[in-house]
Every structure is written in C-alpha cells, then in structure tokens.
A = this chain, B = another copy of it.
C-alpha cells in the first residue's frame, strides 16, 4: 500500500487554492506542484447558476480511489482533490486537483490523469440554470474517450 498523503474534500464551501498548493509543498523531496482549477464558465452570458448534484458516500470513495490509483502510477509525494456541490455562480470555482512530486513530468501526468477520471468516473452531475430554464449538462464523448490514453 502507498503511504502517500491523499486529501479528498467534497463540500459546498469555497476552497483556498494557494493554501492547498502550499500544504502540498511541505517536505524536502517535493520539487514540483501542479494544480488544476475548474470554474463555472458563462460563455453565452445567460447562466444564472450551476447546480452540482453528487452521491454522498460514493463520491468520497470514488475520489479516494482515483487519487490512490494516481499515487500507484506515479512517484508522488502528495495528492489533493477538492470538488464542490450545490449551487455555484458564474466565476465560482468548482473543483481542483493538485499533485506534488520530485519531478515535473510525474506531477503533470498525474494531474491530467486525475482530471480525466474525475470527469467521467466520479458521481457528480451538473445542471445549468438559465433564464430559459434548467438543463442537465450532457457528458462529452471526448471525456469518455480521454480515459483511453491511461489504459496501458
């Protein structure tokens, strides 16, 4: 079993990207930290809010499983995965992942891997509420396809 510290947070509260990244940097072995932050876009200008539903219990298990898989595949010194749920306004942060490693390649690849899995394998569903009504966001085929590159 891997002893790499994994931090998973599922919450309706905002998070502090800078503090999360700084916490991952602790320890003399960490040379590189990569973060990804996802945020509510409002491209068409008509979004009132986004509602994110999730499956309490399974969500935490899925995120921990994904994070553990990343620590098995790459030499990481830490992984953080944070995903919000509930009502989010345009511009609000939805989620972040962060990876720490001695070297940049591992940190970059593990962060991209976490994002690909999180998109299609963690039980979250987004609903967009506009002036015209509410609509569930459809899963993108390219997101499912993106998982293929991690099969080997």
Q: Which A residues contact B (CB, under 8 angstroms)? A: 16-19, 21-22, 25, 28-39, 41-43, 45, 90-91, 93, 102, 104-105, 107-108, 111-112, 115, 146
Closest to A90 in B: B28
Query: Given contacts A28-B91, A34-B35, is CB(A41)–CB(B102) below 8 Å?
Result: yes
* Interface SS majority for chain A: mixed
Query: Given contacts A18-B16, A91-B25, A115-B104, is CB(A36)–CB(B33) below 8 Å?
Result: yes
- A16 vs B102: C-alpha distance when bound (angstroms): 21
Closest to A16 in B: B18
Asked whether, in the complex, the Cβ of A31 is within 8 Å of the Cβ of B21, the reply is no
Asked whether, in the complex, the Cβ of A38 is within 8 Å of the Cβ of B31, the reply is yes
Asked whether, in the complex, the Cβ of B41 is within 8 Å of the Cβ of A31, the reply is yes
